[in-house]
Structure 1
Amino acid sequence: MDEKKFRVLIKYCFLKGKNTIEARTWLDAEFPDSGPGKSTIKDWYAKFRYGELSTEYGERSGRPKEAVTDENI
C-alpha cells in the first residue's frame, strides 16, 4: 500500500479519537508487513492536532526538479 493511503488511515484513526498507540496497534494488525512506523504516525498526528487536516505533503521551497537538465550540466 502506498504512503498516501496510510496517511488517510492515520487521519481516520485521529478523527475517531484513537491515540497513536491504538492507531499503531490497529495498523499493525491490518498491515503487519507494510504498516507505517511509530514516528510516522506521531508526526502525522502532530500535524492533524495543529489543524493541518490535509493528507498531502505541502510545497517545499528550493530548487525545482526541472532546474537540472542535461543542457545545464
Structure 2
Amino acid sequence: MDKKEFRVLIKYCFLKGKDTVEGKIWLDAEIPNTALGKSTIKDEYAKLRHGEMNTDDGKRSGRPKKVVAD
C-alpha cells in the first residue's frame, strides 16, 4: 500500500470516532503485514484534528518539473 491509502484508512478511523490506540488496533487487524508506527498515526490524527482533511501529499519546495527558458 502507498502512503495515500494509509492516510485514507487513518482518516476513516478518525471519522468513525476511534482514538489513536483504537485506530492502531483496527489497522493492525485489517492489514496485519504492515507496521504503521504509533507516531505516524498520531501525526495524521493531529493533522485531521486541525482540519487538514486532504489525503494527498503536500507540495514541497525544490526544483520545478518543467524549466521555463526565455
**Count of equivalent residues:** 67
Q: Determine the C-alpha separation between the residues in 1 that align with 2:28 and 2:51.
A: 26
Asked whether the equivalents of residues 27 and 35 of structure 1 are also in contact (C-alpha less than 8 Å), the reply is no
Q: Within 5 Å, which residues of 2 pair with 1:1-73?
A: 1-64=1-64
**TM-score, with structure 2 as normaliser:** 0.82
Cα shift at 1:31: 1.2
User: Where does the alignment leave 5 or more consecutive residues of structure 2 unmatched?
Assistant: none
User: Where does the alignment leave 5 or more consecutive residues of structure 1 unmatched?
Assistant: 68-73
Cα shift at 1:33: 1.4
Q: Determine the C-alpha separation between the residues in 1 that align with 2:55 and 2:35.
A: 16
Q: Would you identify which runs of 4 or more consecutive aligned residues in structure 1 move more than 4 Å?
A: none
Alpha-carbon RMSD = 1.6
Name the % identity: 67
**Correspondence for 1:70:** none
